[in-house]
């Protein structure tokens, strides 16, 4: 099984996606949380994309129509930021730009859950969350299954929730974890790259969602495949980074360096994507 996953048809696709991001340098508007801004912008830059952390609803009418994709992350949601997210998502939809949602801690409170459900009605192309977030959104429930921003479930627990959320929202849904699952409600792909230490760096999830936005920006008609490629490529950067790291702080640095330096041989030999 392992051998079947390595290489195959998916690894060249992942390399083609990364190569397109590097050559086209898509412009990604990021409305993301305060914790993740630095890692998110550096992840996009090291992959070859162009991040812009612009969030004012006063400038989105001028700016959002020019971007290649929009990324919205509700991690440090406040009353003031929610209208800005709504305005940008509406503009993205109006101007036919893909937009990607990271529903951080969707089940932590009624306010956050309602905000995420309202954003879902604005038709994101992709939703990427950890297992607890995807379960909370699929059940539209908050409280019991959620403990802050970290997942209290394995990603395998959330595959059915991801499928039902994909069907109800029309979005591609990705659940991250030891194994990443990606579904359009019908097909399910899994990506098995990365290292457990990535969970010990805050905002790696937020950063990989931004990377998904960049990959979908250059292949918007294949959001399922682009999302799987982004998750696998980020995981490969984590694996190579871990060979040099001494802990979470140095992994953060080496992950960014590794993403920047990824070559065709590493991607082709390491990417592990398969259909479930």
Ligand X SMILES: Nc1ncnc2c1ncn2[C@@H]1O[C@H](COP(=O)(O)OP(=O)(O)OP(=O)(O)O)[C@@H](O)[C@H]1O
For the chain, the 3-state helix, strand and coil shares in percent, each to the nearest 5, are 55, 15, 30
* 92 touches 72 (CB < 8 A): no
Q: 60 touches which of ligand X, ligand Cc1ncsc1CCO, Mg ion, none (CB within 5 to 8 A by kind)?
A: none
Q: Is 48 in the site for ligand Cc1ncsc1CCO (CB under 6 A)?
A: no
The two tokens of residue 118 are: 């309202």
Pairing between β-strand 188-191 and β-strand 180-183 as defined by DSSP bridges: antiparallel
Footprint of ligand Cc1ncsc1CCO on residues 183-202 (CB under 6 A)? 202
258-266 contact pairs (CB < 8 A, 24+): 259/43, 259/46, 259/47, 259/233, 259/234, 260/46, 260/47, 262/18, 262/233, 262/236, 262/237, 264/15, 266/236, 266/240
Which one of ligand X, Mg ion, ligand Cc1ncsc1CCO, none is in contact with 76 (Cβ closer than 5 to 8 A by kind)?
ligand Cc1ncsc1CCO
Of 76, 93, 139, 152, which lies in the binding site for ligand Cc1ncsc1CCO, with binding defined by CB under 6 A?
76
What whole-number distance in Å separates Cα of residue 255 and Cα of residue 242?
Answer: 8
Q: Among residues 105 and 240, whose Cβ is nearest to Mg ion?
A: 105
Please, are residues 74 and 104 in contact by the beta-carbon 8 Å criterion?
yes
- Our finding on whether 40 is near ligand Cc1ncsc1CCO (CB under 6 A) is no
- If one asks whether residue 33 binds ligand Cc1ncsc1CCO (CB under 6 A), the answer comes out as yes
Instruction: Give the nearest residue (CB) to ligand Cc1ncsc1CCO.
Output: 75
Stretch that binds ligand Cc1ncsc1CCO, among 14-22, 192-200, 203-211, 261-269 (CB under 6 A): 203-211
Nearest-5° angle of CA 179, CA 258, CA 211?
Answer: 55
Q: Does 131 bind ligand Cc1ncsc1CCO (CB under 6 A)?
A: no
Binding site for ligand X (CB under 6 A): 104, 130, 149-151, 176-178, 180, 194-196, 198-199, 202-206, 208, 231, 234-235
Binding site for ligand Cc1ncsc1CCO (CB under 6 A): 33, 35-36, 75-76, 104, 149, 202-203, 205-206
């Amino acid at each position: 099984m392992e051998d079947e996953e390595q290489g195959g048809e998916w690894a060249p696709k992942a390399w083609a996606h990364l190569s397109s991001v590097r050559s086209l340098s898509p412009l990604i508007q990021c409305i993301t949380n305060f914790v993740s801004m630095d890692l998110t912008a550096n992840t996009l830059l090291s992959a070859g994309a162009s991040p812009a952390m612009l969030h004012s609803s006063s400038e989105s009418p001028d700016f959002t129509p020019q971007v290649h994709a929009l990324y919205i992350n509700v991690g440090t949601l406040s009353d003031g930021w929610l209208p800005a997210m709504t305005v940008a998502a509406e503009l993205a939809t109006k101007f036919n730009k893909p937009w990607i949602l990271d529903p951080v801690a969707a089940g932590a409170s009624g306010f956050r859950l309602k905000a995420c459900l309202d954003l879902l009605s604005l038709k994101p192309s992709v939703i990427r969350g950890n297992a607890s977030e995807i379960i909370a959104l699929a059940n539209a429930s908050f409280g019991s299954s959620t403990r802050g921003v970290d997942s209290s479930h394995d990603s395998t627990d959330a595959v059915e929730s991801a499928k039902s959320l994909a069907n109800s929202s029309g979005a591609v849904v990705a659940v991250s974890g030891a194994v990443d699952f990606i579904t359009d409600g019908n097909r399910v792909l899994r990506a098995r790259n990365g290292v457990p230490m990535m969970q010990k760096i805050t905002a790696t999830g937020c950063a990989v969602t931004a990377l998904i936005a960049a990959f979908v920006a250059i292949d918007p008609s294949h959001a399922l495949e682009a999302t799987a490629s982004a998750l696998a490529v980020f995981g490969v950067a984590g694996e190579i980074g871990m060979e040099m790291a001494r802990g979470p702080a140095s992994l953060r640095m080496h992950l960014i360096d590794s993403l920047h330096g990824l070559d065709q041989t590493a991607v082709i030999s390491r990417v592990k994507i398969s259909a479930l």
